[in-house]
Structure 1
């Protein structure tokens, strides 16, 4: 009869986890910086995936510099797929949950859409996000999303920015965009709900959704303290009063110091400049 011999704890091999950094969307990023044996890496990756799964992590991003190409095969065998590649690295991704993959597609430009949806009561559709920057902040914001493929807004596809915005609202296709690369283009589209449809939120991404008085949306402390969101709220109020037409560029600075340009009509642009730079 076979005898089970237990090894002393000192002889049990402990497999380390891969070093990772958490992102704002419930995922992790792994950047390999040192040469590693592919078999050791495969063991560490398998153990790490089990650990992340137990923690409820969602997207896993692994950045492999070109000199570590020996690690591509064991990464792919664990179910990772190529996301994008640059001259000196390859980015691979894996969606852990047994739910629809919410990781963004790669693009040279990412087109973001915000939908200012109003009804005949002068109310605006707002949401609270379950993930990302606004998680747990109690901030009510406009529904937003991304157009994953540039062909969705090409003249030959039948889609335009406003159509994409309506689809974002109806399908609530919010994406975890923490790793979007390249330049970003953001469009704020005005939509009107004639039918007063029942709000149906996507529970995996949206914590709550409701109709709110436009003035109350604009008056939120976050909107008043954040230059970009304050400008957008003012534009929404102006549009609601049917006084908004045309486009002009206004430069703003994000909280991270990034310079962006928002497009307004000339009259509203002058009004916003007087608000932001009172004499």
Structure 2
């Protein structure tokens, strides 16, 4: 136990320490902790006001890293594409480049016919028809592949409602219902009817076969098609989402900006990219 004199000495010392803390001012170049914190946050543009870009940049990466370091981690989710107007009309309108057609999203009307079908001058096994913008992009992509020593063929592009019905009914009779539903879309539910899809091959025995995936042409398409606005529509391992077995030959035109964003984010299906429900069956 301290004697009275000792207690008095300790009390005086404590008062001197408190006085020093309250009178101390920031020295030159020092920043109060509250200001430093707000300055760091200000260095990263808030997500709500950050400019969107299809191509990642160094500054965007720095802002992302800083934000990740200063905000709580959120549950993993599908990356959302930036710079796009996600209106229901864009995804339902058959004239939209972003129209999504699957087992739960038929064309409206189901007998829709694209208004601007043209015939692209490309190697083919069946004379192709595509919407003009898709046809132009296809010609450009085929030319780029040829420069890289890869020859591509258009195997089956636009199909009318009547043509799709004929194919579906024929497969139904020869393959049975279960197999047909995994291989062939019902009439009115086919991407080919949009004029924005084409089955591509290299003129080999693996055309329209899963073995095409191992061919140089398929690998070139998988690596480069997005540059020309085309994406692989039914990738391996995503049947539970698309409702269609893997088709390494089936490519869909969605436009270069959307295809670039899809490639950048690593999203594999249109259902995931546009935030739509999976479509495993009708």
TM above 0.5, one fold? no
Q: Which has the higher strand share?
A: 1
Structure with higher RCO (Cα < 8 A, 6+ apart): 2
Say which one has the larger Rg: 2
TM bucket (normalised to shorter chain) is: under 0.3
Normalised by the length of structure 2, the TM-score is 0.22
